[in-house]
Amino acid sequence: MKPNFHPKNIVQTIEGLTQKGLEVVALAEKGKDWNSVVANFDDFECELGRLTSVNSHLNAVMFNDEFNEQYEKTLPIITNFYSDISSNKALYAAFKNLKNTELNKEQQHILKESIDGFELSGVGLEGEDSKRFKQIKEKLSLLSSQFSKNSLKSTNEWTKAVNLEQLKGYGEAELAKIKTDEGYELNLQVPVYMDVMTYLDNRDLREEVYRAYVSRASELGITSPDYDNKAIMDEILALRYEMANILGFDNYAQLSIEAKMVESTDQVLEFLMSLVQKSKPQAQSELDELTKFSGIDLKPWDLGFYSEQLKEQKFGFKKSELTPYFPESKVLEGLFSTIENLYKVSLKEINEPSYHKDARVLQISKGDELIGKIYLDLYARKDKRGGAWMADYQPLQNHEKPVAFVVCNLNSPTDGKPALFEFDEIVTIFHEFGHALHHVLTKVEYACAAGISGVPWDGVELPSQYMEFFCYERDVVMSMSEHYQTKKMLPDDLYDKLIKSKNFQSAMGMLRQCEFSIWDLKTHSSSEDTYKILNEVRKDTALMSSIAESRFLNTFGHIFSGGYAAGYFSYKWAEVLAADAYYYVQSSGGIGSQASLDFLHHILESGGSRDFMDSYEMFRGKKPSIKALLKANGIAN
């Protein structure tokens, strides 16, 4: 199915669809078997999901105030519809009655998850509690959208005209990203911001850009205080806390954990603190080495700059030396061939209209059979939300093939020169394709359990983190590399240096990710101010003081406008699974081996159709080990 990228009258259409949904629900309430209760409603949800997915996607990648105004009007309609469904006692009873009918194992698992979902969504609530729960969900959908909008607008607002004298340290590639008709202009888009932090000699200018970046969407006024997200964050956290209390949980973290693989917040905190303890001595050594190398009192805006110089000295190459070897077309060619060899499918770009001139359409097939499509949108734009993500549009259902969106914010071609990607950016592309393959390669024909649907949040990141590992294999790197001018492949000595540098400052990175994860869980376990909690967490995790004006939480979209609230630890937990999976596949023959096909069959194809840890153990033969994560990061165990 081809998405309709020119939706009109979206409020009216959503209203009509949700009305149709109520009719479907009325029939399901009276149903006595799988088809009349689950399958028909699943078909309807798929229809509604396609429209909401396109609306959400366009609002994120081609933002304009006119469409956004209509889009935001649809949010309460959708939220209220699902609130009514999740509190529908007759529908809940119809689902429960199916336990006494003949179902296959897939259906039994889906039924159990659906019943649990009803119970976590307030089906047992009565009177004022039920009414208030519904109000909270509606308000949260609007607040999340406003948070995202403020983040985008505050990022776009700050620019600074600069001259060549101020840009010492920049090469041709970095200059091309900020060239304007009048000269050069810095902004806070991620590709430009990262260049400033990594390459710019001018320390004062680095500081200015850093302060502007970490104070976005805050009360400080470096970007407009009109976009201050703090009150929105506080309200989101208070509403989540109240929602959890209404359901009988002490806090939102407990509610969130109910739908994850892990057993309790204590178990997760213990896991994270063990990583902190194992990483901190090595991280301190890494910072000491950097401080000694820089010869100055390091500030946050110095870390990237001196780290890049130290890395260059230690490993004998600059990051910018790699970039010319990774033009966009060659990177995608290597990515496609890696996917083809891993999973015995074919992947190619097709000539089909899309929503934007920069977005291309990819087709995945096996033999003559179409498996699914991916819309790939790689470049940063002013009207596009920052970050990288995958979104699902169409699941495998009723002979319709799966369709996914993959979005990044990378630099685009300039002045006849192709887009050249840094290696970290290539890792990001592999990561998002891992998510897309999870969605597209599914064999489950129930939309509620196809691809990533029905997969616990701490399992969703496994396929994406797993794909990252293949980025570093020699054959894969060589398949992606071709100097955009000389057409030569990446030299062996540069590849060897890249691999040796892979875990440079990995312990510092581990501490940072643990800090986010611990803060996230603790902030959703408490009613204290979230910045106060962050300061407490940093006593265990931070090796350097942050500046008093830092408000980076004010644009932390994963937590306040994404799906990672009290679940950011999922990245680290999934990294354990991914490392364990990769080393197993590597030791069993690697790309194209039976083990890599077992990953396809047991993880990607099975989606949310059975307990995810059961799926992992079917693939691996045993539970994962934290040792694999430490090995992958080069941290002494």
User: Alpha carbon of 256 to those of 117, 249, 386, 572: distances in Å?
Assistant: 12, 10, 25, 16
- Position 457 scores a pLDDT of 83
Helix pair angle (40-61, 65-86), 10° resolution: 150
pLDDT at 79 over 70: yes
Q: Can you tell me the distance from the alpha carbon of 451 to that of 453, in angstroms, rounded to the nearest whole number? A: 6
Mean pLDDT (the chain) is: 94
Q: What tokens does 228 get?
A: 């201050």
Q: According to the model, what pLDDT value does residue 6 have?
A: 85
pTM: 0.89
pLDDT computed for residue 602 by the predictor: 97
Q: Is the pLDDT of residue 637 over 80?
A: no
Mean pLDDT of 309-327: 93
Given a cut of 90, whether residue 415 has pLDDT beyond it is: no
Asked if residue 582 has pLDDT above 80, the reply is: yes
| Mean pLDDT, residues 168-186 | 92
Mean pLDDT on 391-400: 87
Of 232, 192, 231, the residue nearest 212 (C-alpha): 192
> Which residues are part of the catalytic machinery?
432
Residue 222 has pLDDT above 80, yes or no: no
Using pLDDT thresholds of 50, 70 and 90, give the confidence band for residue 176.
Answer: confident
Percent of the chain surpassing pLDDT 90: 87
pLDDT tens for residues 141-165? 999 999 999 999 999 999 999 999 9
In this prediction, residue 95 carries a pLDDT of 95
Look at residue 1 in the predicted model and tell me its pLDDT. Answer: 67
pLDDT at position 522 is 97
pLDDT in tens, 272-305: 999 999 999 999 999 999 999 999 999 999 999 9
Flag whether pLDDT at 221 surpasses 80. no
Average pLDDT over residues 97-125: 93
Considering 3-12, 151-160, 511-520, the range whose residues carry the highest mean pLDDT is 511-520
Which top CATH class is 324-500+570-632? mainly alpha
Domain range list for the chain: 10-86+88-124, 159-215, 324-500+570-632
For residues 501 and 634, the answer to whether their CB atoms sit within 8 Å is: no
**Higher per-residue pLDDT: 8 or 504:** 504
The string over 489-524, giving b where at least 16 C-beta atoms fall within 10 Å of a residue's C-beta and e elsewhere, is: bbeeebbebbeebebbbbbbebbbbbbbbbbbbbbb
CA separation, residue 300 to residues 14, 197, 539 (Å): 46, 9, 17
* Token output for 363: 């087709």
DSSP annotation string for 481-523: ---TTT-PPPPHHHHHHHHHTTTTTHHHHHHHHHHHHHHHHHH
Mean pLDDT of 64-92: 92
Question: What architecture is domain 10-86+88-124?
Answer: Up-down Bundle (1.20)
**Scanning the structure block, which residue is given the tokens 């680290």?**
572
Q: Is the dihedral of CA 525, 526, 531, 536 positive or negative?
A: negative
Residue 176, Cβ density class (10 Å: 0-12 exposed, 13-18 middle, ≥19 buried):
middle
- pLDDT tens figures, 328-380: 999 999 999 999 999 999 999 999 999 999 999 999 999 999 999 999 999 99
Span 249-265, mean pLDDT? 92
